[in-house]
C-alpha cells in the first residue's frame, strides 16, 4: 500500500502491516487445508480442472518470460500487450482449476469472491505505484489495455522484446509447476488410497512421481540462493 505524508500514524501503521500480498499467502495456506478437508474429488473434476489449471500456468509462463522486475520500463510486451495483469489471469485460472478438482460448489464460489476481493486491492496499489513511477506512458497504457479481459489486438506502443527463458528461472516459475504436480497428484492419491481404499500397488507410478517432485521441492528450497546466483 502507498503511504502518503498526510496519513495519520494509525493509517501508516495499518498500511505497513496490512499487505495484500502477505494476506494472499496466508489465505492460500489456510485455503489449502480447508480444501483438502472438504474435498469431493472425482474423475469429472480432474477432467475439467486440470486443463484449466494448465492453461493458467502456461499464461503465467508466457508472462514471466517478459517481466523484468524493477526495470526502467514497465512491461507491455508479450501478453502484457493484451491484458495488464496476465500473471493474475493465470493465477485465477490455476486456482479455478484446483477448485473444480476439489468438487465443491461452495468452495468454487468462495474462491471466485475471495480472488476478486484480495486482488482488487493489490491491483489498485500496483497501478498507483506504476503511475507515479512512469507517468504519462503508463496512464496511456491504463486507458488502452484492460485489467483482466484481454483485448483482441496487441497494444500499439508495446515493447518489441522477445521471450526470455532466463526470466522464467529468475522468477522461479518452476516452483509453481512443482507445486501443481505435487498438489494434483496428491489429491489423486488421496482419493484413490484413502477415500476409495484402493491398494497402493495400483498407484506405484503416481507415488514415484509424487516422491520425485517432493524431492525437487526440497532441493529447490535448500539450494535456492545458489540457483538465484546462477540465473542472475
Full 3-state SS string of the chain: CCCCCCCCHHHHHHHHHCCHHHHHHHHHHHHHHHHHHCCCCCHHHHHHHHHHHHHHHHHHHHHHCCCCCCCCCCCCCHHHHCCCCHHHHHHHHHHHHHHHHHCCHHHHHHHHHHHHHHHHHHHHHHHHHHHHHHCHHHHHHHHHCCCCCCCCCCCCCCCCCCCCHHHHHHCCHHHHHHHHHHHHHHHHHHHHHHHCCCCHHHHHHHHHHHHHHHHHHHHHHHCHHHHHHHCC
**pLDDT for 46-99, tens place per residue?**
999 999 999 999 999 999 999 876 666 788 999 999 999 999 999 999 999 999
Give me the pLDDT at residue 11, please: 46
pLDDT at 139 over 60: yes
pLDDT at 23 over 70: no
Among 31-45, 54-68, 75-89, 211-225, which stretch is predicted with the lowest mean pLDDT? 31-45
**pLDDT for 148-199, tens place per residue?**
999 999 999 888 888 988 889 888 899 999 999 999 999 899 888 988 899 9
Domains of the chain (ranges, CATH numbers): 9-162 (1.20.120.1630), 172-232 (no CATH)
pTM of the model: 0.81
Give me the pLDDT at residue 217, please: 92
pLDDT at 3 over 50: no
Amino acid at each position: 500500500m502507498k503511504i502518503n505524508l498526510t496519513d495519520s500514524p494509525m493509517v501508516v501503521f495499518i498500511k505497513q502491516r496490512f499487505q495484500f500480498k502477505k494476506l494472499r499467502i496466508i489465505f492460500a495456506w489456510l485455503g489449502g487445508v480447508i480444501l483438502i478437508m472438504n474435498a469431493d474429488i472425482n474423475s469429472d473434476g480432474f477432467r475439467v480442472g486440470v486443463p484449466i489449471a494448465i492453461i493458467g500456468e502456461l499464461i503465467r509462463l508466457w508472462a514471466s518470460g517478459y517481466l523484468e522486475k524493477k526495470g526502467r520500463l514497465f512491461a507491455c510486451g508479450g501478453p502484457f500487450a493484451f491484458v495488464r495483469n496476465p500473471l493474475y489471469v493465470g493465477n485465477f485460472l490455476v486456482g479455478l482449476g484446483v477448485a473444480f478438482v476439489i468438487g465443491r460448489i461452495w468452495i468454487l464460489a468462495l474462491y471466485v469472491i475471495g480472488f476478486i476481493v484480495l486482488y482488487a486491492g493489490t491491483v489498485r496499489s500496483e497501478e498507483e505505484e506504476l503511475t507515479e513511477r512512469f507517468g504519462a506512458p503508463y496512464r496511456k497504457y491504463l486507458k488502452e489495455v484492460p485489467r483482466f479481459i484481454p483485448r483482441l489486438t496487441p497494444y500499439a506502443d508495446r515493447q518489441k522484446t522477445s521471450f526470455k527463458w532466463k526470466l522464467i528461472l529468475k522468477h522461479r516459475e518452476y516452483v509453481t509447476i512443482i507445486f501443481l504436480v505435487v498438489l494434483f497428484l496428491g489429491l489423486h492419491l488421496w482419493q484413490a488410497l484413502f477415500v476409495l481404499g484402493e491398494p497402493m500397488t495400483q498407484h506405484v507410478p503416481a507415488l514415484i512421481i509424487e516422491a520425485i517432485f517432493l524431492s525437487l521441492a526440497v532441493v529447490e528450497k535448500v539450494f535456492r540462493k545458489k540457483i538465484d546466483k546462477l540465473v542472475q
